[in-house]
Amino acid sequence: MGQKIAFIGLGIMGKPMAKNLISGGYELYVYDLFPDPVAELEKEGATGCKSAAEASSNADITVTMVQDGPQAESAITGEGGVIEGAAKGHLIVDMSSIAPGVSQRIGKVCDENGVNFLDAPVSGGEPFAISGDLAIMVGGSAEDFEVAKPLFDILGKSSILCGAHGAGQVTKLANQICVGANIHALAEALTLAAKSGVNPETVYKAIAGGLAGSNVINAKAPMMVDRNFEPGFRIELHYKDINNAMEAARDLDVPLQVTSNLQQVLTSLMIQGEGKSDHSAIAKYVEQLAGVEIKKH
């Protein structure tokens, strides 16, 4: 294959994604603020680096997968960041989920330094990061998208170029609005069933085959009825995404009524210490209001 890849950010999503690239035949140079995941990837055949700049200086393409906008800007444009080590024509693919305006700002700095840039946030959470079935939403040029496409084919089941810099992030925010609202509606539906004395598991199975059926319902209803809130995608991350959506909406003068309500629900769950729980724990918010628990009969 020949291409050398730098991978920056080896967290709950980044680590399995990096492993999939190694399995796909790429030579990886990795960096993270924490040493343990770097050591783990070294055992898989990657080369550990002391900075993002060092990693990118050894590579043709750099993938970043960090927490939010400030971390992405620091990793890419900050001191010791990717741009510092990147040669002219280097491609940076930021797969973090951040505000569209931040991606546009990073893209502008990359342009000024002769470095190419794609924003490419993903949907699917940790399970799909592990299985390589992520949905990848991309902003940038068609030429850069084609260069990155072989990586996307390893990391995801789909990758779509959505527009210019920031378009991938806008698409990801649209995804998170739909997912969060769907989970909230599902929680209300199953709470109503539980309060009515009807088995929530039966209700889920009955509605899954109709128009209400969705990937969200299939993934999250079993977690609710099993009281399993181990994270595939954490409340705190969905909270971050919805805050970014509301920031974008404010900047564009777009009223988002359902999203605004979802923001308040997630804020309440964060205050209650549910940030590390899976976003299916939105059910806990609804249950608390109703004084009932969703569970199998």
Question: For the chain, which residues make up each domain, given as ranges?
Answer: 4-164, 171-290
- The mean predicted confidence, pLDDT, of the chain is 96
pLDDT by residue (tens digit) across 6-50?
Answer: 999 999 899 999 999 999 999 999 999 999 999 999 999 999 999
Q: What is the mean pLDDT of residues 218-225?
A: 97
**Residue 259: CA atoms inside 13 Å, Cβ hemisphere, count?**
22
The set of residues, in sequence order, having a beta carbon less than 8 Å from that of 50 and lying 6+ positions away, is 31
Q: How far apart are the first and last CA of the chain?
A: 54
pLDDT by residue (tens digit) across 225-279?
Answer: 999 999 888 999 999 999 999 999 999 999 999 999 999 999 999 999 999 999 9
Alpha-carbon gap, residue 67 to 117, rounded angstroms:
18
CATH topology for the 4-164 domain: Rossmann fold (3.40.50)
pLDDT at residue 283 in the model: 98
**Residue 159: CA atoms inside 13 Å, Cβ hemisphere, count?**
24
Alpha-carbon gap, residue 160 to 139, rounded angstroms:
9
Judged against a pLDDT cut of 70, whether residue 2 lies above it is answered with no
CA distance readout (Å), 211 to 194, 236, 280, 283? 21, 30, 20, 21
CATH topology for the 171-290 domain: N-(1-d-carboxylethyl)-l-norvaline Dehydrogenase; domain 2 (1.10.1040)
Using only C-alpha atoms, what is the Rg of the chain? 20
**Catalytic residue (one of 172, 220, 240, 284):** 172
pLDDT at residue 125 in the model: 85
- Kindly write down the DSSP assignment for every residue of 179-245, as one continuous string: HHHHHHHHHHHHHHHHHTT--HHHHHHHHHTSTT--HHHHHHHHHHHTT----SSBHHHHHHHHHHH
pTM recorded for the entire structure:
0.91
Alpha-carbon gap, residue 145 to 118, rounded angstroms:
7
Is 205 considered catalytic here?
A: no
Backbone phi and psi for residue 87, each to the nearest 5 degrees, phi listed first: -80, 165
